[in-house]
């Protein structure tokens, strides 16, 4: 089988297409999945760089969709021929993977494999970010950074569905249009304007009650400035690098709640995984949550996919086809 392998940490050039031999056999409780499409995410870049260390060598990718080829002993949750998606399992930049059957999400027949690889990680991330820290209500202001990106667009749509006023930050006019299409009430092009100043202006000085930040270093100080009294900031990524350290006492003047998010901690059981995944799928079926594909590339173009994502040249999901 063909797979992308990383033998040493570094830039995108370390992503090498390799012939790795025959597909592995599933063990007890596992399934062999023939991968048709793999999602590309920033966490893949962090792992490739070594910022999130993974034992070398490794096959990157934490999200994919495909077809069950074989099931191991004692597997009753899936059977050969089932269409499935998954997230949180390393090795999706490959034509096959062996995965614990309990991690597989049934993929509706109406969804393409590209859609099946686009929704799990980002959709489940958006779900827990909106529901677990401060579920916004009508009239509350939510600030979403990178509002034209994969998670950002979903967060904008979900917050609007709950009645919130949404401010999105983006880097260009084109991305501003994408954020507006997703439902953002206000969009700040942070390369031209100070988002913290604009957020306070738009809220008549109150600030945003919920800030969802996957950017990190270049945004966090502004978050602290424009969060409301008793507001919540959730850090769930570091696209610009890790946020600066602060003293816990800095949270006291406005009674700020500061949280860190990681989807692995919010999909700890199969029941929780399927609840979140099914909520996302239901929203997509209902039509108010829409996926946006930026582009679909062949597996051998994995390095190009990473460069596009690192360069913030994407607006939506990048997918690798493994066929």
DSSP symbols for 38-87: EEE-HHHHHHHHTSS--PSSB---SEEEEEEEEE-TT--S--TT-EEEEE
Determine if the peptide bond prior to 57 is cis (ω within 30°). yes
Task: Name the nearest CA neighbour of 210 among 150, 127, 136.
Answer: 136
pLDDT above 90 (res 85): yes
In CATH, what class is 2-119+291-321? Answer: alpha beta
pLDDT above 80 (res 315): no
Burial of 247 per CB tally in 10 Å (0-12, 13-18, 19+): exposed
Residue ranges of domains in the chain: 2-119+291-321, 123-264
Average pLDDT over residues 157-171: 97
For 7-41, how does the pLDDT look when each residue is reduced to its tens digit (9 = 90+)? 999 999 999 999 999 999 999 999 999 999 999 99
For 198-242, how does the pLDDT look when each residue is reduced to its tens digit (9 = 90+)? 999 999 999 999 999 999 999 999 999 999 999 999 999 888 888
pLDDT above 90 (res 2): yes
CATH of domain 123-264: 3.40.50.720
Q: 313 pLDDT band (50/70/90 cuts)? A: confident
Q: 316 pLDDT band (50/70/90 cuts)? A: confident
């Amino acid at each position: 089988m063909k797979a992308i392998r990383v033998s040493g940490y570094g830039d995108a050039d370390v992503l090498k297409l390799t012939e790795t031999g025959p597909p592995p056999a599933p063990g007890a409780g596992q399934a062999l999945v023939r991968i048709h499409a793999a999602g590309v995410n920033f966490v893949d870049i962090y792992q490739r760089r070594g910022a999130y260390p993974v034992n070398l060598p490794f096959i990157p990718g934490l999200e994919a969709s495909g077809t069950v080829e074989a099931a191991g002993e004692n597997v009753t949750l899936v059977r050969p021929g089932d269409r499935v998606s998954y997230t949180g399992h390393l090795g999706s930049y490959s034509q096959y993977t062996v995965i614990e059957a309990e991690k597989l999400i049934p993929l509706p027949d109406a969804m393409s494999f590209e859609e099946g690889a686009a929704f799990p990680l980002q959709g489940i991330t958006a779900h827990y970010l909106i529901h677990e820290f401060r579920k916004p209500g009508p009239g509350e202001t939510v600030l979403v950074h990178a509002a034209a990106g994969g998670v950002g667009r979903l967060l904008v749509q979900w917050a609007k569905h709950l009645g919130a006023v949404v401010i999105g930050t983006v880097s260009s006019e084109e991305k501003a249009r994408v954020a507006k299409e997703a439902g953002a009430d206000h969009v700040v092009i942070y390369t031209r304007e100070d988002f913290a100043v604009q957020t306070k202006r738009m809220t008549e000085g109150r600030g945003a009650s919920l800030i969802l930040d996957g950017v990190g270093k270049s945004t966090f100080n502004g978050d602290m400035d424009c969060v409301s009294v008793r507001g919540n900031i959730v850090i769930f990524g570091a696209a610009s690098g890790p946020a600066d350290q602060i003293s816990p006492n800095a949270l006291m003047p406005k009674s700020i709640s500061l949280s860190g998010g990681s989807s692995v901690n919010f999909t700890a059981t199969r029941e929780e995984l399927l609840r979140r995944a099914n909520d996302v799928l239901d929203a997509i079926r209902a039509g108010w949550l829409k996926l946006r594909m930026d582009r679909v590339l062949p597996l051998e173009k994995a390095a190009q996919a990473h460069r596009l994502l690192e360069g913030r040249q994407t607006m939506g999901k990048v997918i690798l086809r493994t066929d």
